[in-house]
Amino acid sequence: MRILLALLYVSLVGAPGGSSLPANDSFRNTIQSILNIGQITLFHIKKLRTKLPAAPQMEFSTPSIDGLTSISRDLQILDNELQNPVTDLLSQIQADVSSMEGRVRLFALTMGCPVQARPRGHPWASLFPDSHFYLILEKVQRYLDTIFLNKDKLKVC
């Protein structure tokens, strides 16, 4: 009987120390999952571009990536811009970005990072829908490329 109690005690006391490794694996898996969604999104963008005429050259700046909070905010903005009532060509990319934002948001909350409330409504209003279409594709692609270059920022708030 004492042996059973001793084993139970050891398993209960040893559990917290042993559980830190799976948490680290969980964090690594979450980060990898976020990056995988980004890779899939880039694939969808490249596939869509092959079906479209060549895009015009556009200049804009990509927001800086400071950590999970800024990534979540930027993905929310891109998600809203992708919700285009004129065409459904962006629906898969919008779903990808929305999924990625959800994972980043959940991971940020798990890490105790501050996360902004999701903006309401669709800010999509453009006098030049074709230009906007190409612009948002380019924005998403460049932002995802920036995330891959700064993937260490997925570990900080």
The larger pLDDT score, comparing residue 125 to residue 38, is at 38
Residue length of the chain = 157
pLDDT in tens, 83-107: 866 667 788 888 999 999 999 999 9
Look-up: residue for tokens 């230009």?
131
User: Model's pTM, two decimal places?
Assistant: 0.72
Which domains, from first to last, does the chain contain?
23-155 (1.20.1250.10)
